[in-house]
Amino acid sequence: MSLRVSEVCERLLSCCRTCPFVHRKPGSDGSDGPDGSVVIPNKHAQTETPGPRALPGLPAPPRARVYTALWDYSARTAEDLSFGAGDQLEVLDQSSPDWWFARALTGQFARREGYIPANYVAPLESLHAERWYFPDTKRMDAEKLLQAEGNQHGSFLIRECESQPGELSLSVLDLGVVKHYKIKRLDNGHYFVSRRREFTTLQELVNYYGTTEDGLCVRLTHPCRKAIAPQTHGLSYNTADQWEIPRSSICLLRRLGAGQFGEVYEGLWNSTTSVAVKTLRPGNMDSQDFLREAQIMKKLRHPKLIQLYAVCSVGEPIYIITELMTHGSLLEYLQKDKGEFVAMCDQVEMGAQVAAGMAYLELQNYIHRDLAARNVLVGENNICKVADFGLARVFKAEGDGDYELDDDDERVYEVKQGTKLPVKWTAPEALHENKFTIKSDVWSFGILLYEIVTFGQTPYPTLTNAQVMQRLRANYRMQCPANCPKRIYDIMMECWKDSPVDRPTFETLQWKLEEFYDVDINAYDDTRNY
């Protein structure tokens, strides 16, 4: 098979885009690096900073100075600049990767200056600045976005699916049903939906089909509403690097729940920004151990991981400040829903999101050690994020000793005799030989999938912890839960392979779950009878 040079370039580029082993700087998925280099986004990361991309071997294109705001942003500190979606901003200083200094050129805040989150803007007149451009959006996600409140007949978006780089599709809402059209490209770079008419740019294509249907099911009317603004990287320019914040800047508003570490509150930072505040029960962990771990946790940034914003570690209790998730833990969310709104396709997607967060940790050689539905949090639109990664490592189970790190291998932990473990989630080699690796996280992920498909049922419902430990020695595994598609159960069983090396990687788990969407959209519900 011979390939043209342009095809080779495109394949190389698409390989780089999707290859999980391409170096990524934590905390800047999809964004330009601080040195102006382009950071290849994670396959599953939301594109948060849509800067210009360089082809391999070529220097990065110059950065634009004028940007368009993609979302509204309300200043959180006196140094910040507020702006509205669509406002134009001149960026004056990009020396920090996540927060830029800018001047508003248009809008309510014109002529004011201050810091802006870099992932809220895109270069003026670039494709990323178009309100209808949704990069890294899968077909099913496009359908959900268009069917959400606020869209109307003819609402549309153009998406580039990262699993098929270069493949563009137009998704349109037609009387409540979403229809998809392939946008093809000719050798001369022109775009077309129907060969009858070609366009030199996507903007021209959109303008044309905004005036006439010309074969589409409906004329394009409004860009699909951009649902939720992305998380900023850190709370503000000032806290991005300096993460110890004064306790007085946090106001506790309401108790959200309590977990093994202590109570969790909804809080307000600096009287402006909603956050979650995890209070660590005094004596539960050594504060030096915790701070060392928190240094690592803060660097782990991915759209499917709860972001650690800051800590208050002077005095007790220690506060951990993280992003706030509207629906709380996945376990409670599923138990409340019981299948009323959450369908099998949502459950599969939830599993895929957790696998995506864990695939990132896997790449960073980081072990969660307590992966379970109680440690996954849910936001709007069923967005799931993995929480509490790393905390189990520094947590002292009450009166039962603590975990010790094996210094020879960062990825293996040993556990002192008598330490409390979540037995039903813990892999046999971790239970019996005290070995915790990313593969013991994979075992726990299989249990988490069980929790997801059973709407939060406790695993091994008829067995005590002691019985589970005993039965696992005899290779016992849970049976396929009622209403669980066989393909999902097969994935669980892969995760529960006796030998850790035989278990899949999180990267494989992620694509296997995501592939459910591509195979046959109706298949999930058809398999409910298994």
Q: Which residues bind ligand AMP (CB under 6 A)?
A: 256-259, 261, 264, 276, 278, 306, 322, 324-325, 328-329, 332, 374, 377, 387-388
Q: Are 393 and 293 in contact (CB under 8 A)?
A: yes
Q: Name the residue type at position 513.
A: L
Residue 332: CB partners within 8 Å, gap ≥ 6? 257, 456
Nearer to ligand AMP, 129 or 383 (CB): 383
Among candidate residues 370, 490, 518, 525, the one labeled active-site is 370
Q: How far is the CB of 378 from ligand AMP (least distance, A)?
A: 9
Q: How far is the CB of 9 from ligand AMP (least distance, A)?
A: 42
Alpha helices in 19-147 (DSSP H): 139-147
DSSP label at residue 55: P
Nearer to ligand AMP, 224 or 306 (CB): 306
SS3 call for 114 = strand
Tokens 């006196």, located at residue: 78
Tokens 């004329």, located at residue: 219
DSSP label at residue 405: E
The residue at minimum Cβ distance from ligand AMP is 259
Nearer to ligand AMP, 196 or 254 (CB): 254
Q: Determine how β-strand 133-135 pairs with β-strand 156-160.
A: parallel
CA torsion through residues 205, 210, 214, 219, sign:
positive
Q: Are 170 and 178 in contact (CB under 8 A)?
A: no
Q: Is 370 a catalytic residue?
A: yes
Nearer to ligand AMP, 81 or 331 (CB): 331
Quickly list DSSP for 244-305: B--GGGEEEEEEEEE-SS-EEEEEEETTTEEEEEEEEPTTSS-HHHHHHHHHHHHH---TTB
Cα–Cα dist 515/518, whole Å: 5
Nearer to ligand AMP, 377 or 491 (CB): 377
Q: Name the residue type at position 375.
A: N
Structure tokens belonging to residue 528: 């409910």
Nearer to ligand AMP, 44 or 278 (CB): 278
Catalytic residues: 370
